[in-house]
Amino acid sequence: MKLSDAQLQQFDKDGFIVFKAFLDVQSCDAILKVAKEHLEAYIEPIETEMGYDSRSKAYRTEVTDYSSKAEEKEVVVRRLRQVYDRSPLFKKWMENEDIRPALEQILHDNVVLTTAHHNSIMTKMPHISSATGWHQDRRYWSYSDDNLVSVWLALDDETTENGVLEFIPGSHKMHFKPEQFDSKEYFSESHDANKKIIQTKVSTDLAKGDVVIFHSLLLHRANKNNTDKAKISFVYTVKGEKTKAKQGTRSAEFPEIILKKI
């Protein structure tokens, strides 16, 4: 799949693009079945809801041990980590050749999977999982430049009620001051300069098989899940081959997979 000039211009302007019905329902259901098995068995490495809320910026930037080591009476899994090596189904999706031409166009480079970041099955459990604040994914990553994008696959319907992604179009090109973010580098909703920016937010309901590609600097968030059914999604990150992980950081501590050019 190649993008038209208009689609490329739209991604450059907005920082994200949505592909409806990209992956077939049968493939989504097969991925979802394995994901649920791993979630129900708490197969490490995982991140728990409590772990997500308590982690400092230093932890997210430096620590390479992704096991939860949760000492919680009731563990609520927020994500399965390191999914590339968990199942052939997961690997097959992350190496999907149909989406690669579009990724090559967006990155203007060969496509490289970064297993250090995202590489996850994301959840929002009913009524328990917290809302996700406005943030840029790139804030905890250590690379030579910002030429990274994430690929988000909806494994079932995603709406405002269960925590669909919201974006601030064009925010990947905005320049912000440090004081516009809090101590964990979430974009502050109470900061006066941010309020007008946040008013421009958009969201698009997703159906099973829909895919969103978004830039690593794009501000995005999601509500908590107020329905009675878990929301489960698949997200992985790719970069251009010329974009290098900084040695001595978490970004450099996990394998990278160079995908063949399509």
Where along the chain do its domains lie?
5-258
Residue 69, pLDDT score = 52
Q: Measured over all CA atoms, what is the biggest interatomic distance in the chain, rounded to whole angstroms?
A: 53
Residue 94, pLDDT score = 98
Residue 62, pLDDT score = 56
Q: How far is CA 55 from the centre of its chain?
A: 17
CATH architecture of 5-258: Sandwich (2.60)
Residue 183, pLDDT score = 84
Residue 61, pLDDT score = 52
Residue count of the chain: 262
Q: For residue 74, count CB atoms less than 10 angstroms from its CB and return exposed for 0-12, middle for 13-18, buried for 19 or more.
A: exposed
Residue 184, pLDDT score = 82
**What is this structure's pTM?**
0.92
3-state SS, residue 212? strand
Whole-angstrom CA distances from 48 to 43, 52, 77, 193 are 12, 6, 4, 33
Residue 137, pLDDT score = 94
3-state SS, residue 50? helix
3-state SS, residue 173? helix
Q: Name which of 193, 61, 77, 63 is nearest 128 in CA terms.
A: 77
Write the DSSP symbol of residue 124: E
Whole-angstrom CA distances from 193 to 36, 140, 198 are 41, 23, 9
Per-block average pLDDT, block size 10, for the chain (262 residues)? 96 98 98 97 87 52 55 76 97 98 98 96 92 92 97 97 97 96 91 97 97 98 96 98 95 96 91
Residue 72, pLDDT score = 52
